Amino acid sequence: MRSEVKSGVSPRRYAITAMAVIAGLIVVGRITRILVDWLWFSSIGYAGVFWTILDARALLFAAVFALSACATGLSGMLAHRYARGVVISRADAAGPSGATEVTGDLVELVAPRIPWRSSIAGAAIVFGLLLASSEFSSWDIALRYVNQVPVGERDPIFGKDIGFYLFSLPAYIALKNWLLRLIFCSAIAAGAVYGLRGDIALERPPRTLSPAAITHASALLGLFFAVMAWSWWLDRFLLLYGDNGVVVGASYTDVHVGLPVQWMLVGLAAASSVALWINMRRRSYRLPAVLALLVFGSAFVFGVIYPSLFERFYVKPSELGLETPYIEHTIALTRQAYGLAKIEVKPFEVEQGLTLDSLQANRATIDNIRLWDVQPLMDTYAQLQEIRTYYKFLAVDIDRYQLDAGYRQVMLSARELEPAMLPPNAQTWVNLHLIFTHGIGAVMSPVTEKSTEGLPFFYLRDIPPVSNGGPAIRQPRLYFSEGQQDYVIVNGNVAEFDYPQGANNAYTRYNGRDGVNVGSVARRSLFAWQLGDPNILLSGYITDQSRILLHRNIQDRVRMIAPFLSLDHDPYVVASNGHLYWIQDAYTVSQWFPYSRPGFGDGANYIRNAVKVVVDAYNGTVDFYVSDPADPLLRTYERSFPGLFKPLDAMPAALRQHVRYPEDLFLIQAQLYRAYHMVAPEVFYNREDLWEFPRELAGMDGGSGASTMPPYYTIMRLPGDPRAEFILMLPMVPSQRENMIAWLAARCDPSGYGRLIVYTFPKDRLVFGPFQIEARIQQNTEISQQISLWNQMGSRVIRGHLVVVPIENSILYVSPLYLRAASGQLPELKRVIAAYGDRVVMEDTLGEALAALFKESAQAASPSRGTTNAPDARAREALAHYDRAIERLKAGDWSGFGAELDALRPLLEALGAGRSNDHK
């Protein structure tokens, strides 16, 4: 008998011990994670942000846990207090699981012997933890609610400030959902007690409920209907997020049917709640069933069936007339949510008057036409500049710099360390975490120039970086970059690898600001536990001066500090004042802007590029600069996190010159603007003027399949502006057509940053679109024969992206052509294709292509050689100047080209005056 007791008790004791150990490990893991995060936040100067987020999470978790545990525990204790068991006839008692008390012909079921109070308390704690865990992630909603600011604009249906929808409504929805879950958990707790006590007997006849169970159920169901009344009251505002295919937001049916139905359901639910609380005294089990059927049946009939019938038989036959006011709301608020209302519309009178003089006047545009595409250039960088296998170029960024050569658009890439590319036998813990700690330098090349071999011309190259017309870099080391960087420990007693140097290597020591001290045994133990790496504790290379660098991926670093911001996919590197920096665009987004069409992400329908984040590649410092101070979400976060954000004017002037309009935001806005440039409800309803992104051919052999043209950065002089500037642009074509109808531009330079302009073409004039130009290129026999010849010779032809270049009131098209050996990985820029009007040419360089493209028109403007008088001499001289201008243009000598044009102009003017006098 004693052995049986031991065998029964020991497994239980072991199970309890195992559970206690697991729970302890989880708690220790949570505590160490908090300690490590606190040390890291403190090291970078954002301890206040850490405490704000931790306090918000802890307070929310504690409040939800306490209320949930108390409510479910109270429900269970009340059930235990008032449950008395159910008395049934002896004949109906068929072996109850609990003990029985017999009185005459009656049998009273007695609950099994259970430690009720401790069991209910344990269940309440479990329910509280579950509910608190489910609400743990709502800390952001709670912070926004507490610190909300008014927007100053009101919705057109209820007249509420839009801030109510951005900040209050999400909090009310989250609170309502928690209350419903809490009532459900309380019902489970009470139902379990009543079931075990025998007050609920539904397995076999007679199916009975004790009066106490009916009373308790009526109370909980009354609470449920009270919350449902509030839920249907909130659902009125959710009508502003509907979508019937015509209107995004509240439609005619929603306003004239849905809204009255919601009020009806609010009244029914409230009345049912009161009736159920009255039923706590009457204790009828039929009334709850009747009320539930009435309320939810009404919700189905009047909330689902009736609106559908009304929509089909009343609204659809007169849809345009009835929905016009609501279409106007959709257009206006969608344009406001995405910043489309601020887009300036200007006409672009397309002409065919582009001349050599026009090219000279727009030299800044011509000098910055991008001929290098990202992928071929990245392949070329990899072959020429990675230097060692453990270096890698992860991305090519496009920016502009004021260089000795002028205002230049450049492409650059950071040379990052890729530890996984070390030889397998060199991937030791010491190498990965102590020696190979950083990348080094960057490469930079202009977008237009190439060598005679078809390779890029480098402004920055080699290790350490050598400047050849580019910005000097005095601190080229990248401890923080785009790669998936693991932690490293610096300032140990082993030297860090810096860069290869002939037969030897150069070594360095980190002198930057970042890092958490790990010199003490306690801290080494803490990080060893948290990172799961005992080598941190055991290594003899770590000294009292050693520091550990964490979150070295720049996007991970920014998300750790500001998890409430959404990040652009493409951070870009900037060389400024001898250092390397990363600029990361960050967005505030919301799903709660009324009457706005969801356009990206998980149903988000509002976005602002509110923050520019700058990360020092060496020091790891992170600075958040406000680029849209009017954004209500950002103003709310500024109140939540005092000191986190700085005004954009506080950004160093040299870095401000490199701020650019983010491509992700531009794509979202352009995608929406395709339809939402139509502001007339009738035009919008009929989709009469729907735009599309143009198609293009790019890739191997000229691109056998069409793809959507991406937006691209360029330097150009906008029509009517005095100087060239850096912009992001994208052409547009009509739906199901290929001719170009407009182009959208976003200004990037500080003087006009953030302004969006759409230039619209005359609708009565054909302007070739990119895909039509692609077709003309493919139909050109000289170009197609040359491509076929190269492909037959063992090389592979790569067609680059077609670039649309607006110059004054004309449109020029340029596309690069690359050649790559079939077994090689080094693409070479071999030809440039240019098109203007009905002419297409292909030459070795951009200058030669432009010279060939405009030679015919220039010759037509030149006088005849047939005369022998003074005008004839001037004509020969003019022709000589023209020929020399063409030679200078082919050679890329723009100063000589301009000088020849300057000399040509007075001769042509004199000839024109002489011809006019002859006519007289």
SS3 content of the chain, % helix, strand, coil (to 5): 50, 20, 30
pLDDT in tens, 329-388: 999 999 999 999 999 999 998 888 888 888 888 889 999 999 999 999 999 999 999 989
Structure confidence at residue 911 (pLDDT): 61
| Banded pLDDT at 19 (limits 50, 70, 90) | confident
Going by DSSP bridges, is the β-strand pair 622-626/606-616 parallel, antiparallel, or unpaired? antiparallel
| Banded pLDDT at 112 (limits 50, 70, 90) | low
What are the strands, taking DSSP E only, across 653-741? 691-692, 695-697, 699-700, 706-708, 712-716, 725-734
Dist CA 443 CA 414 (whole Å): 7
Eight-class DSSP state of 656? H
Dist CA 540 CA 566 (whole Å): 41
Question: 49 is written with which tokens?
Answer: 């942000």
Q: Is the dihedral of CA 172, 178, 183, 184 positive or negative?
A: positive
Return the residue matching tokens 């020429």: 384
Structure confidence at residue 36 (pLDDT): 95
Structure confidence at residue 687 (pLDDT): 92
| Banded pLDDT at 906 (limits 50, 70, 90) | confident
Q: Is pLDDT at 249 greater than 70 in this prediction?
A: yes
Structure confidence at residue 95 (pLDDT): 45
| Banded pLDDT at 93 (limits 50, 70, 90) | very low
Dist CA 637 CA 408 (whole Å): 37
Q: Is pLDDT at 96 greater than 50 in this prediction?
A: no
Residue 168: beta bridge partners?
none
Dist CA 637 CA 632 (whole Å): 9
Structure confidence at residue 861 (pLDDT): 42
pLDDT in tens, 294-314: 999 999 999 999 999 999 999
Element (H, E) at 174: helix 169-197
Q: Is pLDDT at 905 greater than 90 in this prediction?
A: no
Question: 393 is written with which tokens?
Answer: 């170029």
Q: Residue 728: helix, strand or coil by DSSP?
A: strand
Q: Is pLDDT at 88 greater than 70 in this prediction?
A: no
Q: Residue 359: helix, strand or coil by DSSP?
A: helix
Structure confidence at residue 865 (pLDDT): 36
Structure confidence at residue 89 (pLDDT): 46
Percent of the chain with pLDDT strictly greater than 90: 68
| Banded pLDDT at 113 (limits 50, 70, 90) | low
pLDDT in tens, 257-292: 999 999 999 999 999 999 999 998 888 878 988 999
Q: What is the mean pLDDT of residues 228-256?
A: 96
| Banded pLDDT at 910 (limits 50, 70, 90) | low
Number of CB atoms found within 10 A of residue 13's CB: 9
pLDDT in tens, 652-686: 999 999 999 999 999 999 999 999 999 999 999 99
Structure confidence at residue 360 (pLDDT): 85
Q: Is pLDDT at 915 greater than 90 in this prediction?
A: no
Q: What is the mean pLDDT of residues 232-256?
A: 95
Q: Is pLDDT at 775 greater than 70 in this prediction?
A: yes
Q: Is the dihedral of CA 505, 509, 514, 518 positive or negative?
A: positive
Going by DSSP bridges, is the β-strand pair 391-393/406-417 parallel, antiparallel, or unpaired? antiparallel
Structure confidence at residue 114 (pLDDT): 72
| Banded pLDDT at 203 (limits 50, 70, 90) | low
Structure confidence at residue 522 (pLDDT): 94
Question: 910 is written with which tokens?
Answer: 């004199």
Which amino acid is residue 314, in one-letter code? Y
Residue that wins the pLDDT comparison between 113 and 776: 776
Question: 532 is written with which tokens?
Answer: 């799961």
pLDDT in tens, 502-535: 778 999 999 999 999 999 999 999 999 999 999 9
Q: Is pLDDT at 47 greater than 60 in this prediction?
A: yes
Lowest average pLDDT, out of 223-237, 281-295, 783-797, goes to 783-797
pLDDT in tens, 528-581: 999 999 999 999 999 999 999 999 999 999 999 999 999 999 999 999 999 999
Q: Please, are residues 828 and 820 in contact by the beta-carbon 8 Å criterion?
A: yes
Q: Please, are residues 841 and 833 in contact by the beta-carbon 8 Å criterion?
A: yes
Structure confidence at residue 99 (pLDDT): 46
Q: What is the mean pLDDT of residues 811-825?
A: 88
Dist CA 74 CA 78 (whole Å): 6
Q: Please, are residues 580 and 615 in contact by the beta-carbon 8 Å criterion?
A: no
Dist CA 455 CA 438 (whole Å): 28
Structure confidence at residue 237 (pLDDT): 97
Q: In the predicted model, what is the mean pLDDT of the chain?
A: 88
Dist CA 174 CA 177 (whole Å): 5
pLDDT in tens, 449-493: 998 889 999 999 999 999 999 999 999 999 999 988 899 999 999
Which amino acid is residue 725, in one-letter code? E
Name every residue whose Cβ is closer than 8 Å to that of residue 896 and which is 6 or more positions away in sequence: 884, 888
Three-class secondary structure assignment of 127-170: HHHHHHHHHHHHHHHHHHHHCCCCCCCECCCCCCEHHHHHHHHH
Q: Domain ranges in the chain?
A: 31-85+115-282, 387-551, 566-659, 669-850, 862-919
Element (H, E) at 61: helix 47-82
Eight-class DSSP state of 530? H
pLDDT in tens, 134-182: 988 899 999 999 999 999 999 999 999 999 999 999 999 999 999 999 9
Element (H, E) at 16: helix 2-43
